[in-house]
A and B are shown apart, each in its own frame.
Chain A
Amino acid sequence: MQSASEVVTRTRAVEQTPAARANLPDRAWAAVLTVLGLAVLAVAAMIIAELLRVGGPALKHTGVIAFVGNSVWDVTRDVYGALPFIYGTLVTSGVALVLALPVSIGLALFLTEMAPARMRSIVSFPIALLAGIPSVVYGLWGLFVLVPILRNPIEPLLARTHLPIFTGAPIGLGYLAAGVVMAIMILPTITSIAIEVLQTVPGALREAALALGATRWEAIRIAVLPYARAGIVGATMLGLGRALGETMAVTMVIGNSPTIRASLFAPGYSLPAVIANEFAEASGDMQTGALAALGLLLFAVTVLLNIAARVLVRMSRRGPARVAA
């Protein structure tokens, strides 16, 4: 794989270099593109620099380890601990992924493998529509429609399982509500990318599996899914990225209580939600700084997850080869 891409770049280099040397417009064009490309990096660098500048004093005051590890957030006393927000962000995103992933992939498989071609275009339209709804609308829907349904009957029903994650008073607002709303929000992202990915699976693979006597499900399992795995992981990571950064919809249904509880029924808080809630009225450098530091933390979580996604994609790319061997 690597050697193949090296060959490609080398060939390109051989083809382009003399032309670029000879041709001034080409060189100018290349320079413009380079500047545009670097601009993205510059923007990211400036964001980090600004967050560090504003958040630095608060981080120094609290101490980085205490800031990340402490679970008390008391603005009045300038005590800032981000743990409840990190926890809430990860838990709600996790719930969203667990709920959205099977549905999205099932939907994508159905549309690409089972459904007639006309149906695909009919169903993908509302999926695209879902992606276009503003998040505050999802939040309001969550608060006025979903939360009452969760409070009664869903949460009392779940409580009967006696699992530790389903205990406590069924308030409706909390990690579960936020997770469900986010699941619906990331569903279109994952589904539409998964559809694109599944469409790239060569028909010959599918036909070969069927010719060997595989059922439709077996063909999907042994031929389609392994081929598309890398792309599906990528789709999931994009969905997760959206979930991590989701602000308005989450803050309206998560309960906004900076506590750490095992139960999904309990109210919690997330990193973007607390920034959105407190930044406008933040008084004093310490609070503003602490909120900027939370932004930095969110940035770090996103970067870490992106790296994890890259690693996952690499690993799953090797997957089919290993199966073949």
Chain B
Amino acid sequence: MKKIILIATLLSSAAFADKLLINGAGATFPFPIYSKWFSEYNKLHPDVQINYQSIGSGGGIKQITEKTVDFGASDAPMSAEEMGRAAGIQHIPTVMGAVVVVYNVSSISELRLSPETLAGIFLGKITRWNDPTLAKDNPKAKFPDAAITVVHRSDGSGTTSVFTDYLAKVSPEWKAGPGQGKSVNWPTGLGGKGNEGVTGTVKQTDGGIGYVELAYANQNKLTPAELKNHDGAWVKASLESVSAAAGKAEIPDDYRVSITDAPGKDAYPISGFTWLLVYKDQPDAQKGDALVRFLWWAIHDGQKMAAALDYAPLPAPLVRKVEATLKSITVQGKAVLAERK
């Protein structure tokens, strides 16, 4: 009996000793896919355990800047000011998401919104559903003579950042007014906390309109509005149209780019990346090595798990670009993936 206990103790301590623990923190939006990745990767490589705390993009940026975690995660690219504080940070796009516009008007089942109309509604200029600008794009719909209640996120979020980034691109008035950010000074409307707060308020308010993440809308069976993209085509938000948004957009080497209002006939206009933040030169040899290998796995095998969780995978040309970036990441001055083709 004693022997068995002794052996068990030895085995378990050996298992603990071999396990490499990598810590990360940041965005909440990609948390479902990240936790799936970390657990799947752990099954393939039992010696690598990745812990992730979804404390929000801002917290992720702070912690990776202070180097209290091994990697950060963010839904919005770091600002120039933030980059200045964290020298040598590399953004790695992992998956893509989109923001969709949801509404609650019982008499209409389909809605098309041009950029001008959408901006007009969120600026508080279009206040009623029977406004002629809405009727122009939706000739068949029977709009009620009812007030539009705008619902936005009250908490700072990457979703708001992407949505306002789009509005600022398509509407000069929005750019000069509320502008772009994780929380802005909304000219009109109610604030709901989180995707669930916005959805709850829209669902309850006749004439409500709001914006939520595509994944959230899909999981809750909401019907989003069709939007007019950069090329003038009407597109529905789908994983394909979101991936298409990264297809023709020009992506710089640091990946700190917004792909809202992207060119391409099939591109959904309010799409965005979510990023992992890692140091270009990894300070810890073992952890850095494991982290880069995990990232390589994530942009290849990991992408296949994205769709099931309502994230759009990175398009193939972008994966090749990220491959090159990963190869350039060094661990104490030495490239990890030099041997990969």
Chain A interface (Cβ < 8 Å from any Cβ of B): 72-77, 79, 143-144, 147-148, 151, 169, 171-173, 251-252, 255-258, 267, 269, 273, 276-278, 280-284
A75 engages B183 (CB within 8 Å): yes
Minimum Cβ distance to chain B for residue A168 (Å): 11
B201 engages A281 (CB within 8 Å): no
Minimum Cβ distance to chain A for residue B162 (Å): 13
A74 engages B184 (CB within 8 Å): yes
A73 to B187, CA, bound (A): 11
**B181: chain A residues within 8 A (beta carbon):** 75-76, 283
Partner of B149, one of A79, A171, A256, A277: A171
Minimum Cβ distance to chain B for residue A174 (Å): 9
A76 engages B58 (CB within 8 Å): no
B191: interface (CB < 8 Å): yes
B190 engages A256 (CB within 8 Å): yes
B204 engages A172 (CB within 8 Å): yes
User: What is the predominant secondary structure among interface residues of chain A facing chain B?
Assistant: mixed
**A269: chain B residues within 8 A (beta carbon):** 191
B200 engages A283 (CB within 8 Å): no
Among B81, B82, B204: residue with most chain A CB under 10 A: B204
Minimum Cβ distance to chain B for residue A171 (Å): 7
**B191: chain A residues within 8 A (beta carbon):** 255-257, 267, 269, 277
Once A75-B185, A76-B178 are accepted as A-B contacts, the answer to whether A280 and B149 lie under 8 Å apart by CB is no
A73 engages B185 (CB within 8 Å): yes
Once A143-B197, A257-B190 are accepted as A-B contacts, the answer to whether A76 and B180 lie under 8 Å apart by CB is yes
Minimum Cβ distance to chain B for residue A82 (Å): 14
Partner of B79, one of A79, A251, A278, A283: A283
B57: interface (CB < 8 Å): yes
**B193: chain A residues within 8 A (beta carbon):** 251-252, 256, 277
**A277: chain B residues within 8 A (beta carbon):** 154-156, 183, 191, 193
B157: interface (CB < 8 Å): yes
**B81: chain A residues within 8 A (beta carbon):** 284
- Known pairs A76-B184, A277-B156, A284-B81 / 20 extra A-B pairs, C-beta < 8 Å: A75-B156, A76-B181, A144-B204, A148-B204, A151-B205, A172-B204, A173-B190, A267-B190, A273-B154, A277-B154, A277-B193, A278-B183, A280-B55, A280-B59, A281-B56, A281-B156, A282-B156, A283-B58, A283-B61, A283-B156
**A251: chain B residues within 8 A (beta carbon):** 154, 193
A171 to B190, CA, bound (A): 9
A280 engages B156 (CB within 8 Å): yes
A47 to B273, CA, bound (A): 38
**A280: chain B residues within 8 A (beta carbon):** 55-56, 58-59, 155-156
Minimum Cβ distance to chain B for residue A160 (Å): 20
A158 to B205, CA, bound (A): 19
Among B82, B157, B185, B200: residue with most chain A CB under 10 A: B185
Chain A, residue nearest B190 (CB)? A255
